Amino acid sequence: MNRKDFIYQTAVGLAALGVGVSCTQQKRKKISKIAPQTVAAEMGDIRAVLLHLGRNMWCDYPTEMMGAPAPESAESMNRKPKYKIVCTVDIWRRIVDHAAKAGVNMIVIDLGEGLYYPSHPELAVEGTWSVETMREEIKYMNERGIEAVPKLNFSTAHNGWMGDYTHMISSKPYYRMCEDVISDVVEIFGHPRFFHIGMDEERIDFLQRQKAQYVCSRMGEFWWQDFYHIVREVEKHGARPWMWSDYCWNTEDFYEKCPKNVIQQNWYYDQQNGGFDIETNPTTDARILKAFVKLDEAGFDQVPCGTNWVGWKRRELGLKADDVMGKLVKFGRDNISKSRLQGFMMATWLTSVDDEEVLQKILKGIDLLGEAMK
């Protein structure tokens, strides 16, 4: 083991044990520069898949005041954080190879605690991928014609990966951490074209339905100012921000206040089985379909997202969701201007784990996207 690997493994080990965790400003560690990615998916023909490396996007995070190390304190929580990355390089490459064969040209990677951030080693857990490992896998994707896009979710509904910073929203340490990890990711990914910032489902009612024990939701100007800060940081590094669009479902001023440079990713999964016709859909999901049209009229570029995950009403009816992606592609092509429809994305909402049944569902989702795009 060389000195660099020793330092990395030691930092990850201490972080996983909750040792030496500090939220004070740390001296910035340099990341070696690399050449930009060699692949860029064609605008208008983006065929993307969302993959999760980290898993702490649906959890609460214990505080130091609970009096025990984080793993022990979390045992009493409804939404327990994960303290180990289970996705191996072999599993990852199996998914990537399948995606390449299906015609996928972009993978959006939800990083979370799955990537080692040199500026904040305390965010790592056991098995967190090193900078070198991530760069090797970006190269592997590029060699198969796939562009790698980083994603960090800054929504308070999906930020368990931030550890102690989940309890510091809108504070100076929080802003500094956001700036640091964005900078780290940009360098690690070779200054990517796009940077997905999440920002979905930050609503009190959503967190309550998820049985969260720590509920934090920014509203009004607090949400907008933090959102603008993240957008500015991403743009400062030459990347184009990309976000989930559901904030616009209940906020009409979104269409004017959101910068037009931000790629919009509205998502529609037909959870209530109401269909894809705006005029005849009798459910509350009709507003989601209308949002695609409103975003288009407001001048935003869009990459709509579909799924093979089964929503609650479909589960009640014993239905699958294998039809959703194909119907969404047709709806998007019929209702969004060709100049602003940049492609589509499949989100299976399954983490890349060593479980054959789960892996098969991920691979099935990839196939459904490939079939839909034909």
Identify the CA nearest to 211 among candidates 344, 336, 323, 76.
76
Q: 280 near 331, Cβ under 8 Å?
A: no
pLDDT band for position 25 (cuts 50, 70, 90): low
Range of the domain at 96: 3-373
Please give the C-alpha separations between residue 109 and each of 15, 114, 277, 329, 352, in angstroms, as whole numbers: 22, 10, 31, 22, 11
Percent helix, strand, coil in the chain, to 5, is: 45, 10, 45
- The answer for residues whose C-beta is within 8 angstroms of residue 37's C-beta and 6 or more apart is 138, 142, 147, 148, 189, 190, 192
Q: Which of 71-75, 94-98, 201-205, 297-301 comes out lowest in average pLDDT?
A: 71-75
pLDDT (tens digit per residue) in 159-215: 999 999 999 999 999 999 999 999 999 999 999 999 999 999 999 999 999 999 999
pLDDT band for position 28 (cuts 50, 70, 90): low
Q: Which of 45-54, 143-152, 175-184, 348-357 comes out lowest in average pLDDT?
A: 348-357
Whether the predicted pLDDT of 49 surpasses 60? yes
pLDDT band for position 8 (cuts 50, 70, 90): low
pLDDT of residue 245: 98
Whether the predicted pLDDT of 24 surpasses 90? no
**pLDDT over 90, % of the chain:** 86
| DSSP per-residue letters across 95-132 | HHHHHHHTT--EEEEE-GGGB--TT-GGG--BTPBPHH
How many domains does the chain fold into?
1
Return mean pLDDT, the chain. Answer: 92
Whether the predicted pLDDT of 286 surpasses 50? yes
We report the CATH number of the domain holding residue 341 as: 3.20.20.80
